[in-house]
Structures are given as structure tokens and as C-alpha cells.
Amino acid sequence: MLTTFKAKATKLANGMQVETKSRNFTFLIDEPKSLGGTDIAMSPVEVLLGALGGCQAIVAAAFAKAHDITFEEFHTEIEGDIDLAGFMGKADVRVGFQEIRYTMHFKTNEPREKMEEFVAFIERTCPVGDSLQNGVKLVNAGLVLE
């Protein structure tokens, strides 16, 4: 059974500032000054990396018990490469990420082999990771001119 998740992004009056809303939660998005923004918040591609990291952390938290794993601390470091010449229209390269890398850190006494299996489980269970790795059909559902 499909669950539909929703968000709305509204351009603010000031340059590239955007307010993003889902349910009753909001956060801001902007660009650094080097890309023409006012640098009050993360850029969209940084938010995307954060969503992947948050997803990995939540899968780790949600499924540790079922895998008989105890850990005291978890963080994940994410980085990804973009050739901005594509976005600027200066080169015929893809505009999106060419690769995204992550390093997960656990404070735990569990053996490495068990943790490597748990990481493989996190990788295949994280909805954001699956969406990025396998791609998603994007559909233009309409253009409203007011």
C-alpha cells in the first residue's frame, strides 16, 4: 500500500532564499554568496546529503534491536561531487551528483563482521539511499500560472 509524502517549497522575496514546508515543519534553503545567494542556510544539494545521512541514522536506530546490536553513538559523514560547469551551462556534463560517498561511525563493542552486515542492511533499507542509487521517476504533474 502506497503512502504519499508531501512538501512545498516557496521562493522568498530575498534572492534565492526558499522556505520548505512539510506537515507543520519548515526549514530554509539558500545558496552561498559564491553562487549568488545570501548564505543563510544549506543549499539544496547539502540538504540532499543530509537527508541521506538522516535516513541512515534512523535505520540504524530503528533496527539495531532486531539485529541484536547495541551502540552508544552513531554518526555518518557524507560527501558528494558535482561539476558545477553543468549547472552553469558551461559544459556538457550531468548537473547532478556524480558520486556520493559515506563513512559510518559507531561507538560499539560489537565485532566488525557483525557491524559490516548491519551496514549492508542499512544500505539496502534506507529509502533515501534507494531513491538515489536506483533513481525515481519524476513526473511534471502540471504548471499553474496565476
CA distance 24 to 84: 33
- Grid look-up 558520486 returns 99
Q: Which of 33, 67, 69, 103 binds a second copy (CB under 8 A)?
A: 103
Tell me the per-residue interface mask from 8 to 37 with a second copy, x by CB under 8 A, - otherwise: xxxx---xx-x-xxxx-x-x-x-x----xx
**Interface residues for a second copy in 125-144 (CB under 8 A)?**
125-144
Tell me the per-residue interface mask from 73 to 102 with a second copy, x by CB under 8 A, - otherwise: xxxxxxxxxxxxx-x-x----xxxxxxxxx
Q: Which helix (H) or strand (E) holds 106?
A: strand 99-107
DSSP structural state of residue 99: E
Q: Is 117 in the site for a second copy (CB under 8 A)?
A: no
Q: In this structure, how many other beta carbons lie within 10 angstroms of the beta carbon of residue 52?
A: 20
For a second copy, which is the closer residue by CB, 4 or 68?
4
CB of 9 to a second copy, least distance (A): 3
CB burial readout 2-14, b (16+ within 10 A) else e: eeeeeeeeeeeee
CB of 32 to a second copy, least distance (A): 8
Q: Which of 33, 38, 45, 92 binds a second copy (CB under 8 A)?
A: 45
Residue positions counted in the chain: 146
CB of 102 to a second copy, least distance (A): 6
CA distance 71 to 60: 9
CB of 68 to a second copy, least distance (A): 15
